[in-house]
Amino acid sequence: MLELSEQEIIRIQKKEALEAMGVATYPAFVTPITAKAATILNDYKEENKEKYSHVVVAGRIMGRRIMGAASFIELQDNSGRIQLYVQRDSICPDTDKSNYNILFKKLLDIGDIIEATGFVFTTQVGSIAVHVNAFRLLTKALSPLPIVKEVTTQTGTQSYDAFTDPEQRYRQRYVDLIVNPTVRKTFEKRTQLIHIIRDAFNSQGYLEVETPILQPIYGGASARPFVTHHHTLDMPLYLRISNELYLKRLIIGGYEGVYEFAKDFRNEGMSRFHNPEFTQVELYVAYRDYLWMMGYVEQLIEQIALTLQSSTTFPYGEHVMHFQRPWKRFTLFEAIQHFTDYDISCMDEPALRETATQLQVTIEDSMGKGKIIDAIFGEKCEPHLIQPTFITDYPVEMSPLAKRHRNNPALTERFEMICMGKEICNAFSELNDPIDQQKRMEEQGALAARGDAEAMVIDHDFLRALRYGMPPTVGIGIGIDRLTMLMTNASSIQDVLFFPQMRPENK
């Protein structure tokens, strides 16, 4: 149990004093709110002041200036902040002034949530404010907010006590959202980004669906799963690492375009680009291929940039990103040769191991050809791919669910979009040959036997579904978290997740 601070003890005493006065510190009834801070500030003018002759506002106290018989409050609602002008004689028209002298001046605190009724006016210094005729406490805050203090010296203005420590911000996102309004803008943009994608898919007639999160067999990607247990069925279940195989079952069932915004879970390390729980949208479209999908996703992300940034050119960290079409394209082997001077396109596993050693890329005995190639690409190529770039035509060993390339059966029709050195999208023409698919899943099983904990498992029901026939189909997964990072200039995935996974807190 957390110990109470001195300020929290004082606030609890204030709560008890309010209740002794007959004031409800957490009332159930709220007067309907008629105006928001941003609306008042943007719309109010002297010529339309009658419209604002009676308003009800509500929000959190973020600042107070007590000046004898009159005071100013800075009130924050979800749209912004506005000043409240509180005059003793306005809120206490009778001879009893305790509502102002005791309740307002002594028992209210920064962080408390109040409701205020009054009229809008322009102050002597030209600011728009609400002249309060009545107010009511809605919530007594027992923990004090971190309030930024600014001190002006000869060398400039310095800030103290800002709530900027990343670990504190991620653990106490509720405080972060209160005191750092720009954080809310990040998450509003994230929601807007999702709406843009959903609207784009819906406009094409694609169907939004839901598939199981708890799965008897995890599949659709190469990753280590989280495992749980169903007591009634007495069987293990896995948090999904991907929803791919379920969505392809729906294409087999007759839908020609399906998508899902999915929470996926991978039992892997954490970094500023990785969280064990993440969001991606997967889309599957029948009678299309990966070449069509490259053009479609290029157009979609350009549209997202134009909507969220008003331009296809905008800053990310120290770089200026350029999302205007067309984007640069490399095949995987071209990219590796370009950045390492090694042509590995015809190498077998022993040669790849030797090349990785020469390039000082760490590999493990359990790795097959696909994992070794992926390690070389990830370490020697990805960090150099800053601008949006399509990497295409991956080897079969790296893509167990992708269709073989129409011109080279050793490759697959797959692409990834890489940006700022990280994968944003992964797509391929889907493998719909059930015999080839079974063989590739069996090869993944052999890798698992060698100790590869991320090798794909055989899903016999999916193979059964494929035997009924799946039309030529293209699928893509777009990482919502990483795409949001790009569109909001966030340096860490934790900045775009309300509640990122954290190590246990030291009490």
CATH of the domain at 222: 3.30.930.10
Distance, in Å, from the CA atom of 52 to the CA atom of 312, rounded to the nearest integer, reads: 40
Q: Which pLDDT belongs to residue 157?
A: 58
One domain for residues 223 and 316: yes
One domain for residues 407 and 449: yes
Q: Which residues contact 242 (CB under 8 A, 6 or more apart)?
A: 219, 220, 221, 223, 262, 264, 282, 477
Q: Please check if 416 is assigned to a binding site.
A: yes
Distance, in Å, from the CA atom of 267 to the CA atom of 39, rounded to the nearest integer, reads: 46
Give the DSSP per-residue string, 51-93.
Answer: GGSSEEEEEEEEEEEEETTEEEEEEEETTEEEEEEEEHHHH--
Distance, in Å, from the CA atom of 206 to the CA atom of 196, rounded to the nearest integer, reads: 14
In terms of Cα–Cα distance, which of 233, 254, 258 is closest to 243? Answer: 258
How many structural domains does the chain have?
3
429-461 per-position pLDDT tens digit:
999 999 999 999 998 888 888 888 788 889 999
Kind plus residue range of the DSSP H or E element containing 308: helix 290-309
Q: Which pLDDT belongs to residue 152?
A: 60
pLDDT lower than 50: segments of the chain: none
259-301 per-position pLDDT tens digit:
999 999 999 888 889 999 999 999 999 999 999 999 999 999 9
317 domain-assigned:
yes
345 domain-assigned:
no
Angle at 329 between CA 323 and CA 332, to 5 degrees: 130
Q: Which pLDDT belongs to residue 82?
A: 97
373 domain-assigned:
no
Given 179, 194, 227, which residue is the final one in a domain? 179
Give the DSSP per-residue string, 279-304.
Answer: EEEEEEEET--HHHHHHHHHHHHHHH
Q: How many residues does the chain have?
A: 507
One domain for residues 89 and 175: no
504 preceded by cis ω (within 30°)? no
Q: Which residues contact 152 (CB under 8 A, 6 or more apart)?
A: 158
One domain for residues 80 and 153: no
158 domain-assigned:
yes
Please tell me the number of Cα atoms within 13 Å of 165 on its side-chain side.
Answer: 7
One domain for residues 416 and 281: yes
CATH of the domain at 135: 2.40.50.140
Q: Which pLDDT belongs to residue 153?
A: 61
271 domain-assigned:
yes
pTM for the predicted model, two decimal places: 0.91
One domain for residues 163 and 105: no
Q: Please check if 244 is assigned to a binding site.
A: no
352 domain-assigned:
no
28 domain-assigned:
yes
One domain for residues 312 and 198: yes
Q: Judge contact between 238 and 218, C-beta under 8 A.
A: yes
One domain for residues 424 and 311: yes
One domain for residues 195 and 170: no
Q: What is the extent of the structural domain holding 80? A: 6-139
One domain for residues 82 and 172: no
26 domain-assigned:
yes
One domain for residues 422 and 273: yes
One domain for residues 193 and 75: no
